[in-house]
Amino acid sequence: MKSKEYFRKINYLKTAIEFKLEKAEFYKELAQSAGGTVYSDMPKPPKGSVRSPMEEAMIKALDLEIEAKKDEEELSRLTVEALNFIERIEDLKLQKILILRYLKELNWYKIQRTMDYSESAIHKLHNKALAKMDVIINEKYKK
């Protein structure tokens, strides 16, 4: 696995969590607009029983929140693992670039300003950091 793929995985999880939580809110609003009482943490009825649209919306909202919670746990695990990988890079400048770019999600201009380097220097350091990260990730996933 390459380091960029690894960081994309983290970014994808962040996006998926946000989207699931937005959808859950939409379903909650939909259930409330149905005019009924809003229930939370209700067990699902036995198979074959008919649910109201409000119940269906609330169940979907709760299911999405559960999925988002599982994704948040995986995101935390991956982020801690990424930090452990980054810390194995000896050069602190390289560590900082990876953290600013992929974990704090800063754009290149903000990274440049933060680190007080030229654009070309930042990109060179970034490529060097990714190469070192690739070696570290490959060590972990070859085992």
pLDDT given for residue 47 in this prediction: 66
79 and 9 part of one domain: yes
Per-residue confidence in pLDDT tens, the chain, 143 aa = 799 999 999 999 999 999 999 999 999 998 888 655 555 566 666 666 677 888 889 999 999 999 999 999 999 999 999 999 999 999 999 999 999 999 999 999 999 999 999 999 999 999 999 999 999 999 987 75
Which of helix, strand or coil describes residue 44?
Answer: coil
State phi, psi for 37 to the nearest 5 degrees: -70, 140
CB atoms within 10 A of CB 53: 11
Same-domain check for residues 42 and 13 = yes
* Separation of alpha carbons 103 and 97, rounded Å: 10
Residue 31: predicted pLDDT: 85
54 and 124 belong to one structural domain: no
> Within this chain, do residues 2 and 58 fall inside the same structural domain, yes or no?
yes
Q: Would you state the pLDDT for residue 40?
A: 57
Kindly state whether residues 60 and 12 are assigned to the same domain: yes
Which CATH number goes with the domain that contains 121? Answer: 1.10.10
Q: Is residue 23 domain-shared with residue 62, that is, in the same domain?
A: yes
Instruction: Give Dmax over CA atoms of the chain in angstroms.
Output: 65
Give the global pTM: 0.79
Considering the domain architecture, whether residues 30 and 79 belong to the same structural domain is answered as yes
Same domain, 58 and 98: no
- How many structural domains comprise the chain? 2
Which of residues 41, 63, 87 is at a domain's end?
87
- Sign (positive/negative) of CA torsion 73, 75, 76, 82? positive
99 shares its domain with 67: no
Instruction: Provide the domain limits for residue 18.
Output: 1-87
pLDDT at 39: 55
Kindly give, in sequence order, each residue whose CB lies less than 8 Å from that of residue 16, ignoring residues fewer than 6 positions away: 68, 71
